[in-house]
Amino acid sequence: MNHRRSTEPHVTRRFSLSRMRRTPLSRAMVRATTAVGAVVGLGSCATNAAQDTWQPKGPNAKMIDDLQQPIFAVAGIIGIIVFAAVSYAIWRFKDRGQPIPEQTHGKPALEITLTVIPALILAVVGVFTFRVIFDLAKTDDTELVINVTGQQWWWEYDYPAQNEWGITQPIITSGQLVMPVGTKVLLRETSRDVIHSYWIPALNGKRDAVPGRIHTLRLEADEPGIYAGQCTEFCGLSHANMRMEAVALSKEDFATWVANQQAAYQSPAEGTLAKEGESVFLNQCVRCHQVDGLKRPDGSLAIAAPDENVWSGAAPNLTNLMTRNTFAGAMFDLLRDACRDDVWNAESAEFGAKYLAGVDEACLNVNDLRAWLRNAPEVKPMYANPALLADTNGKYRGMPNLGLSESDIDKLVAYLLTLK
């Protein structure tokens, strides 16, 4: 059946792409798209990207990498072929006023071919993908279990008692996940408030932490070092600041770390600034932050009550804070830049000793820590304005401004430095 260009009103209503392309607005949009594409393209060329998905540092991430490299190549080739074909068709058959060509009702042989080929490609990809998925879901070879709980906007890690690792009582920490190298670690993830997603690109893919559910994720690192990660499920104002770091130590260093985490609390000596800081901590911080072993002046244990003050019901346990390198959900470093670089860039053999040295006064990133203590919501976006807490029954999401004096901050910094 032959068709000719109709002059009827409903036909002339057609939207013309060729006409649109000539407008100034269209040209501006093309330029903007090109500029954005160029920025994204150039940005992907960074060589020192700590969260590069193409640089696996453990067997689980390598499994994913071994799968994604060939798939990316195949998809890239197919993409180029399709774009070339579409571009040719657009250029070759663009509207030049020619008559509409003869219309046919399909070509079965061509359609079957174009269905079967992608199906075969997807089937092959599917076989290898499913194999990797099942391998990554294995849990029966687990050597160390760590519970991971996400909340706005930090990660809590607790290590259940596991005598084979010297963990005789649960260890609780935050910001940095510490694990032994060459060990199959199983994370049991959940969340206290909204959905988060745990992702250390160098060690494995991402896994959602969902309230009311327990999801598992395998991690294993080949070499000692620090591996950076990022929450990858939008979880509120400071989602972009919800970072994490996995610290891999040799098994001997890990045993040292475990022993230190289980050591009894040492109160600062009487008459020191740190002792005064302990009092400030007991008056202000212990409402939410637990320090295991800390006692009130009457001798009773100081028990934090984040369940009464924080919407998620939890705040970071600060026992042994200065054995970590980060604070405030790993948004800030506890180490000055030079000391931090010294740890991050250490050779494998030296890394453990440098990390286990913790944070001392010379290396403390005192500026960020003081700014945090002075007014936390000013340096990290949080729902911590007391006037806007009606929806959360007066509970904070994040750390509020405590209105500490500079003198109190001096004392607190001195006290926190003793938590090693």
Query: Which residues of this protein are in contact with other proteins, per CB under 8 A?
Result: 9, 12-13, 15, 20, 23, 25-26, 29, 139-140, 142, 145, 147, 149, 156, 158, 160-161, 169-172, 186, 188, 190, 192, 211-214, 216, 236-237, 290, 292, 301, 303, 305-307, 312-314, 317, 377, 381, 383, 385, 388
We find the least distance from the C-beta atom of residue 403 to other proteins, in angstroms, to be 19
> Could you give the dihedral angle defined by the CA atoms of residues 185, 231, 353 and 338, in that order, rounded to the nearest 10 degrees?
170
Strand partners, 146: 187
What's the burial of 53, exposed, middle or buried (CB within 10 Å: 0-12/13-18/19+)? Answer: middle
Beta strand pairing call for 215-219 and 185-191: antiparallel
Nearer to other proteins, 312 or 323 (CB): 312
Nearer to other proteins, 290 or 365 (CB): 290
Nearer to other proteins, 322 or 384 (CB): 384
What's the burial of 402, exposed, middle or buried (CB within 10 Å: 0-12/13-18/19+)? Answer: middle
Nearer to other proteins, 107 or 296 (CB): 296
Cβ–Cβ < 8 Å for 187, 200: no
The Cα 88–Cα 275 span in angstroms is 77
Q: How many CB atoms lie within 10 A of CB 311?
A: 20
Nearer to other proteins, 65 or 391 (CB): 391
Give me the sign of the Cα torsion angle 221, 227, 232, 235: positive
Q: How many CB atoms lie within 10 A of CB 123?
A: 9
Nearer to other proteins, 242 or 414 (CB): 242
We find the least distance from the C-beta atom of residue 151 to other proteins, in angstroms, to be 9
Q: How many CB atoms lie within 10 A of CB 187?
A: 24
We find the least distance from the C-beta atom of residue 9 to other proteins, in angstroms, to be 6
We find the least distance from the C-beta atom of residue 92 to other proteins, in angstroms, to be 25
Nearer to other proteins, 216 or 284 (CB): 216
Q: Which two tokens mark 75? A: 């998809």
We find the least distance from the C-beta atom of residue 142 to other proteins, in angstroms, to be 5
Amino acid at 32: A
We find the least distance from the C-beta atom of residue 57 to other proteins, in angstroms, to be 22
Residue matched to tokens 């990797």: 132
We find the least distance from the C-beta atom of residue 240 to other proteins, in angstroms, to be 11
